Structure 1
Amino acid sequence: MITPESNSASSANCEQKGRLKTSQSFTEQWDRMKLLCVVLCGGRSSRMGTDKAELIHPTGKTFLHHAVDRAKEVSQDVYLSGYARPGATCPTIVDPVAFRGPATGIAAAVARAADEHFAGCLVTPVDMPNLTSKHLMRLRQEWLKSPGELIVAMSAEDGQLQPLVAIYPAGFADSLRALAESERRGLVSWFSTRPHRIFELSAIDCQNINTRADHETNQTSIYRAADAD
């Protein structure tokens, strides 16, 4: 005999299962949108004459510390790319061949993202001190509108692509591996042959610090306090 109480209990049970299914579905969808964040810091720093990762940011942190902190605002999964650093607080994806340019590090990072079932890889360079977590969060939000597509930063003033500030979906792992193993490893050229979306930044936000002159004479005109727009 079916009583009103049993009907009520059955309905409540169905609602609970429905909520659980919805919750699981949301969790699965969220997991599929997870990004591996990677700080590119494997260069020689030859023009600087010292490791750029150890330069002091206006916040008092090192460039590397600043870059890791801004990445952690976007993802709990943050790696360094390049070579093993003593005392590093993040795991490192070691370049398979040292000093072969950023395409090598990016290819290895995207391959790791694909192997570990991340949706993609957000990369940023260690030597871009004005880039903030707010910029990266906006980049991620733009990527979420079409997560299967490449999205790359561009300097709004001169239209120059910034392929070291980009999100590379995991599906591009094989293409990037082929690029890294080739003799022509230019990322701008690689982007030019593939559909991609643009994320605009001001020239000052995507300013690289490459020389001592950049570091010593442009502290007030180039650097900003961390996470300030």
Structure 2
Amino acid sequence: MSTSGVSRILGVVLAGGRSSRMGHCKAELAHPRGGTFLRHAISELLRCCDKVSVSLNADQAGMIDELIDTEHHSIVTLIDQIDQRGPAEGLRLAIEYAVANSCTGVLVIPVDLPFLPAHELQVLADTFGDQPDQIVTAVSEETPTRIEPLVAIYPVALQKPIECLVSSDDRSLYRFIERYPHQTVRLSAHALTNVNHPTQWPLIHTDE
């Protein structure tokens, strides 16, 4: 967590995906270390961010008490106001909340990365602290030329462009990042292993 008082980072778990390939809400999946995918992601962000929130879709609004336990009662939920806008809408709401709470950047992670640890996210946070006017995005050590737009820190100064992105027909965060100054940080391929389909379930139960 930042202690310099210069860069305050809001951590956001993007958990509002429809999970159509998985066939089950990924936020509720059992994590091999106990709890759920969502609770694990929250715990890791709490170790490296100044504030933490969760982005959900409108259908999940009635499930908040089930998804987020009382241990994490201080976690703010951000419910999509515009349907079918993908992670761009979650990012838009997160930046809006970050601005209101004097944060300088928003660190987003998807809920389906069960092996992404706080110490690797801290590398992104430290890099952002050095140049808080630029996007900082992860890349896998195995594919260093491909950015990971859902494991990235977005400066709140990009609030207006993000709002325009949500309203556009092309809401690709990948292409959005390519249009703006950004830095990349290499993370382990293991940390960036995601879970999209039930056939990957054995991986989750046997890997550490």
Structure 2 length-normalised TM: 0.87
Structure 1 distance, partners of 2:26, 2:93, is 21
Show the counterpart of 1:19. Answer: none
How big is the shift at 1:166? 0.7
Q: What amino acid does structure 2 have at the position aligned with 1:106?
A: L
How big is the shift at 1:76? 4.2
Alignment map for 1:125-204 (pairs within 5 Å): 125-158=110-143, 159-204=145-190
Structure 2 distance, partners of 1:32, 1:200, is 24
* 2:199 is the alignment partner of 1:213: yes
Structure 2 distance, partners of 1:150, 1:217, is 31
Q: What amino acid does structure 2 have at the position aligned with 1:183?
A: D
Q: Percent identity?
A: 36
- Do 2:32 and 2:204's aligned partners in 1 also have CA atoms closer than 8 Å? no
Structure 1 distance, partners of 2:16, 2:132, is 27
Show the counterpart of 1:14. Answer: none
* 2:41 is the alignment partner of 1:67: yes
Show the counterpart of 1:86. Answer: 64
Provide structure 2 residue ranges, at least 5 long, that are not aligned to the other structure. Answer: none
Structure 2 distance, partners of 1:75, 1:196, is 20
Provide structure 1 residue ranges, at least 5 long, that are not aligned to the other structure. Answer: 1-28, 225-229
2:19 maps to which of 39, 45, 50: 45
- Do 1:32 and 1:117's aligned partners in 2 also have CA atoms closer than 8 Å? no
Structure 1 length-normalised TM: 0.80
Structure 2 distance, partners of 1:178, 1:146, is 24
Q: What amino acid does structure 1 have at the position aligned with 2:121?
A: L
Change (3 A) 1:188 1:58: same
Structure 2 distance, partners of 1:113, 1:186, is 21
Superposed CA offset, 1:151-193 (max 9, x none): 0001121232111111111101111111111111011111111
- Do 1:42 and 1:99's aligned partners in 2 also have CA atoms closer than 8 Å? no
Radius of gyration: which is bigger?
Answer: 1
For the aligned residues, what is the CA RMSD? 1.8
